[in-house]
Amino acid sequence: QVQLVESGGGLVQPGGSLRLSCAVSGIIFDIGTMGWYREAPGKQRELVATISIGGNTNYAASVKGRFTISRGDAKNTEFLEMNNLKPEDTAVYYCYAHLWADTAGWSDYWGQGTQVTVSS
């Protein structure tokens, strides 16, 4: 059974930093793009950043220049370095992976979410 496990959320003051981590566990045949999405209260889930297997990155305009997405050497882990955090970054952050885990072929998988709260 494939699982995506996030860690690193918490409470931080405006201007502070946090680092989120996500690890894929279980038997997988291949893994492609990974990313981070977030969902704030009363809002739809939105893309934060994605990173391809080749390392190409894509960022939401609201986080560009403040957040950095990266992958571990094993390619089944990813990180989100968040700097200069703002109150509007407060949300539940979800890890995402497009991967091949069974006979169903390529599918999208999500983590359980980790809360990030930016407040003084």
Dump pLDDT digits (tens) for 88-107.
Answer: 999 999 999 999 987 778 99
pLDDT digits (tens, 9 = 90+) for 37-84: 999 999 999 999 999 999 999 999 999 999 999 999 888 999 999 999
pLDDT of residue 105: 86
Closest-CA residue to 4 (of 117, 116, 114)? 114
Report CA-CA distances (Å) from 11 to 19, 48, 85: 12, 19, 11
Is the Cα torsion angle 98, 92, 39, 91 positive or negative in sign?
Answer: negative
Residue 89's φ and ψ, nearest 5 degrees, are -85, -5
pLDDT of residue 73: 84
User: What mean pLDDT comes out for the span 102-114?
Assistant: 89
Report CA-CA distances (Å) from 103 to 29, 33, 52, 99, 100: 10, 19, 23, 12, 8
- If pLDDT is split at 50, 70 and 90, which confidence band does 120 have? very high
